[in-house]
């Protein structure tokens, strides 16, 4: 160890912690930690190894500091984020770019020198009087080609505790790094805290990402999406690394779907928040590999995926015995669970859509709560936040897939994209081929805003690959990487688009459970065991196949009338959508590959021809007669 590092560490660490740093014996890590200590000025530093006793210490400290409190059920704790710190903060999340570099209009960026000065200014002396925690974890399975080591310093025991549940241990693996400098770095401080242990200076909340030095700085916030370094912070670094190395880092779940005769087919799926991502990953009768982040690589001519994480930081709203029985059971029985931003009364948790009788009063993210309580703008404060969450280990779930931790990952049969779309996309369709799927489904994804975001509801927002908030490279390049991905694959995954939110005026055209049928249909398609009909925008299921699946999976009739309403090709809406997407790329994404425009222009032509022959709304029952052709191999 270099003398200068040793001196700094000796002044903040006891023998045991110093011993751990010596064991790791990694100069670039020492450099990062020494810089963090000098900048943030903690009283002491705790180095967390993979040992259970270290993880227990972190949980105990989260309770001792008051960042978490115990609930009645064994293992359950509650953490509150401040009233104004209840979600990711895209406006203050920026890439630090050196003079002369530009990531394009859709990505928020700030001059590197200027940004570093600001965020490091906020971090300066931020940990005085506190302990700094050093976490060393592994993104992706341990000892795998997918593994990426990550290192975080934080002064939040809640953040560190969440990481106990959400990530795989990385301390031991860190001793064996091929390249000692090749790891992600995160520096976080919750900043000044109020008596309730929440961040006070949220106006100075910053998440700044240095792509060149692979460091993310986060300060004056506690909400996990801004602070748990191995979640969305390192994910942005991973997208950049994947770009340089020729693989994909995606905002996707990974799940296994059981097919006939014991067959299992794996899918990955990208959906924006609040669009059914976790519920698709957790479908009854199927198995979950991961619910939020996936790495995809090519191995032996096939696409393989892993879950980056080992736990779930899930939306708790509407988790109840009817709609989400598995998660409900897991979070209402004794085991380690961290709840955030729900209501607590007499040590018992309550959340939106839990189907419980609401108590007269309690404590929530606004402090003491009672029905009718208003915020400073006169708006009623709900008893729990819409974005309230639960944090739990995947291994606590009965439906965890047997390969969830497999170092080789799972072979991907299909990729699913889905958004909140009331009037255009059919409930499920397959693209004509990979490029057509990347362009007209993934990169054309839009999702309607919900009450959960500030502003008007139901406004369509552009959400390419449900990843817009995290893409760290120019968008055109990101799309090109997707187009290039299958170049040396023997078989590429099929691409599907789903839409659980199609409506006829105000009425949803599908039940929540119908997605169980769509995934079974996709499973059959991947294995060449279901037919399809050709529409101008892709391939859709045959009525008879769906009727059979509805009966097998849901034991329900599937009236032909429902099929017609759901699977009608809506030409004017599809045309407007294509034009909208084309406009966004033309105006805002100058490095969009030409093939992107060619595929959109083909689609417009097909839509026009279809309207001329079949009218504006084409029933699936007329498709055979109209005999549209598959345009690409
Ligand atoms: C999401 O919002 O996409 C999440 C939760 O998965 S967060 O950690 O905030 O990113
Ligand atoms: Mn997410």
**pLDDT tens digits for 293-346?**
999 999 999 999 999 999 999 999 999 998 888 899 999 999 999 999 999 999
User: Domain check: are 53 and 76 in the same one?
Assistant: yes
> Which ligand has the shortest distance to the CA of 207?
1
User: Domain check: are 177 and 297 in the same one?
Assistant: no
Give Rg (Cα) of the chain.
Answer: 25
Q: How far apart (Å, rounded) are the C-alpha atoms in residues 120 and 187? A: 10
Sequence length of the chain is 633
User: Domain check: are 241 and 104 in the same one?
Assistant: yes
User: Domain check: are 29 and 153 in the same one?
Assistant: yes
pLDDT tops 90 at residue 134: yes
Question: Is 374 within the bounds of a domain?
Answer: no
pTM confidence score? 0.96
> Which ligand has the shortest distance to the CA of 251?
2
Helix locations, 167-252, DSSP H: 171-174, 224-227, 234-245
User: Domain check: are 188 and 290 in the same one?
Assistant: no
- State if residue 482 touches ligand 1 by the CB under 6 angstroms criterion: no
Q: pLDDT tens digit string along 347-379?
A: 999 999 999 999 999 999 999 999 999 998 999
Cα-Cα end-to-end distance for the chain: 59
Q: How far apart (Å, rounded) are the C-alpha atoms in residues 341 and 344? A: 9
pLDDT score for 450: 62
Report the domain count for the chain. Answer: 2
Question: Is 338 within the bounds of a domain?
Answer: no
Q: How many CB atoms lie within 10 A of CB 614?
A: 19
User: Domain check: are 152 and 65 in the same one?
Assistant: yes
Q: How far apart (Å, rounded) are the C-alpha atoms in residues 238 and 140? A: 11
Q: How far apart (Å, rounded) are the C-alpha atoms in residues 227 and 252? A: 20
Residue minimizing CA distance to atom 8 of ligand 1: 225
User: Domain check: are 163 and 287 in the same one?
Assistant: no
Question: Is 388 within the bounds of a domain?
Answer: no
pLDDT score for 201: 97
pLDDT tops 60 at residue 451: no
Mean residue pLDDT across the chain: 96
Question: Is 156 within the bounds of a domain?
Answer: yes
Question: Is 511 within the bounds of a domain?
Answer: yes
User: Domain check: are 119 and 163 in the same one?
Assistant: yes
- Residue where a domain stops, chosen among 221, 246, 271: 246
- If pLDDT is split at 50, 70 and 90, which confidence band does 452 have? very low
Question: Is 442 within the bounds of a domain?
Answer: yes
| Whether 275 is catalytic | yes
Tokens of 25: 């014996």
What CATH number is associated with residue 45? 3.40.449.10
Range of the domain at 220: 3-246
Q: pLDDT tens digit string along 365-417?
A: 999 999 999 998 999 999 999 999 999 999 999 999 999 999 999 999 999 99
What CATH number is associated with residue 590? 3.90.228.20
- If pLDDT is split at 50, 70 and 90, which confidence band does 456 have? low
Q: pLDDT tens digit string along 10-62?
A: 999 999 999 999 999 999 999 999 999 999 999 999 999 999 999 999 999 99
User: Domain check: are 271 and 234 in the same one?
Assistant: no
Pairing of strands 494-498, 311-315: unpaired
Pairing of strands 428-430, 494-498: antiparallel
Q: What is the mean pLDDT of residues 573-593?
A: 97
Question: Is 354 within the bounds of a domain?
Answer: no
Mutational test site, ligand 1, from 163, 165, 218, 231, max ligand atoms within 8 Å of CB: 231
66 by DSSP, 3-state: which? Answer: coil
User: Domain check: are 591 and 494 in the same one?
Assistant: yes
Mutational test site, ligand 1, from 87, 313, 445, 470, max ligand atoms within 8 Å of CB: 313
Q: pLDDT tens digit string along 59-108?
A: 999 999 999 999 999 999 999 999 999 999 999 999 999 999 999 888 99
Q: Residue 379 carries which DSSP code?
A: P
- Residue where a domain stops, chosen among 224, 246, 268: 246
pLDDT tops 70 at residue 457: no
User: Domain check: are 543 and 600 in the same one?
Assistant: yes
- Residue where a domain stops, chosen among 230, 246, 262: 246
The Cα-based distances of 264 to 267, 345, 475, 548 in angstroms read 10, 44, 34, 19
Q: Ligand 2 centroid to 420 CA: how many Å?
A: 15
User: Domain check: are 593 and 604 in the same one?
Assistant: yes
Question: Is 86 within the bounds of a domain?
Answer: yes
């Amino acid at each position: 160890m270099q003398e200068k590092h040793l001196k700094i560490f000796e002044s903040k660490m006891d023998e045991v912690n110093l011993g751990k740093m010596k064991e790791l014996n990694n100069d670039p890590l020492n450099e990062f930690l020494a810089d963090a200590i000098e900048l943030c000025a903690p009283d002491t530093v705790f180095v967390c190894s993979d040992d259970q006793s270290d993880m227990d210490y972190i949980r105990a400290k989260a309770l001792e500091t008051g960042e978490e409190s115990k609930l009645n059920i064994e293992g359950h704790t509650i953490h509150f984020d401040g009233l104004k710190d209840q979600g990711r903060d895209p406006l203050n999340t920026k890439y630090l770019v050196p003079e002369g570099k530009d990531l394009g209009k859709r990505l928020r960026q700030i001059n590197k020198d200027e940004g570093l000065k600001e965020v490091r200014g906020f971090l300066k002396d931020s940990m005085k009087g506190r302990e700094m925690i050093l976490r060393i974890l592994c993104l992706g399975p341990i000892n795998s080609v997918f593994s990426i080591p990550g290192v975080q310093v934080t002064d939040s025991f809640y953040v560190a505790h969440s990481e106990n549940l959400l990530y795989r241990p990385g301390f031991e693996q860190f001793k064996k790094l091929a390249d000692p400098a090749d790891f992600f770095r995160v520096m976080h401080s919750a900043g000044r805290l109020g008596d309730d242990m929440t961040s006070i200076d949220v106006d100075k909340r910053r998440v700044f990402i240095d792509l060149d030095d692979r460091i993310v700085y986060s300060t004056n916030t506690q909400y996990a999406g801004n602070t748990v370094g191995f979640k969305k912070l390192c994910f942005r670094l991973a997208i950049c690394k994947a770009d340089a190395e020729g693989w994909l880092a995606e905002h996707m779940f990974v799940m296994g779907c059981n097919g006939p005769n014991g067959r299992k087919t794996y899918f990955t799926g990208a959906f924006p928040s609040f669009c059914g991502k976790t519920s698709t990953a957790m479908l009854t009768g199927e198995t979950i590999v991961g619910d939020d982040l996936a790495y995809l690589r090519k191995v032996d001519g096939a696409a393989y995926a892993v879950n980056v994480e080992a736990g779930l930081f899930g939306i708790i709203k509407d988790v109840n015995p009817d709609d989400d029985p598995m998660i409900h059971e897991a979070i209402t029985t004794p085991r380690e669970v961290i709840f955030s931003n729900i209501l607590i009364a007499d040590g018992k948790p309550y959340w939106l859509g839990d189907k419980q009788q609401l108590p007269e009063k309690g404590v929530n993210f606004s402090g003491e709560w009672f029905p009718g309580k208003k915020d400073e703008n006169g708006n009623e404060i709900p008893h729990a936040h819409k974005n309230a969450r639960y944090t739990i280990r995947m291994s606590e779930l009965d439906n965890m897939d047997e390969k969830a931790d497999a170092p080789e990952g799972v072979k991907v049969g299909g990729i699913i994209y889905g958004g909140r779309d009331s009037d255009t996309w059919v409930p499920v369709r397959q693209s004509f081929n990979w490029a057509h799927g990347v362009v007209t489904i993934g990169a054309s994804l839009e999702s309607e805003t919900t009450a959960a975001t500030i502003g008007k509801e139901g406004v369509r927002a552009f959400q390419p690959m449900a990843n817009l908030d995290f893409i760290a490279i120019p968008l055109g390049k990101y799309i090109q990487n997707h187009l290039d991905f299958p170049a040396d694959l023997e078989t590429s995954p099929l691409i599907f688009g789903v839409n659980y939110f199609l409506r006829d005026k105000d009425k949803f055209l599908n039940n929540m459970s119908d997605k169980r049928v769509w995934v079974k249909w996709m499973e059959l398609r991947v294995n060449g065991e279901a037919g399809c009909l050709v529409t101008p925008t892709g391939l859709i299921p045959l009525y008879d196949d769906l009727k059979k699946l509805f009966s097998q999976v849901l034991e329900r009739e599937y009236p032909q009338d429902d099929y017609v309403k759901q699977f009608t090709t809506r030409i004017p809406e599809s045309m407007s959508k294509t034009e909208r997407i084309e406009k966004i790329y033309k105006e805002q994404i100058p490095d969009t590959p030409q093939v992107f425009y060619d595929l959109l222009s083909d689609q417009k032509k097909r839509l026009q021809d279809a309207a001329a022959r079949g009218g504006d709304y084409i029933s699936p029952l007329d498709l055979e007669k109209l005999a549209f052709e598959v345009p690409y191999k």
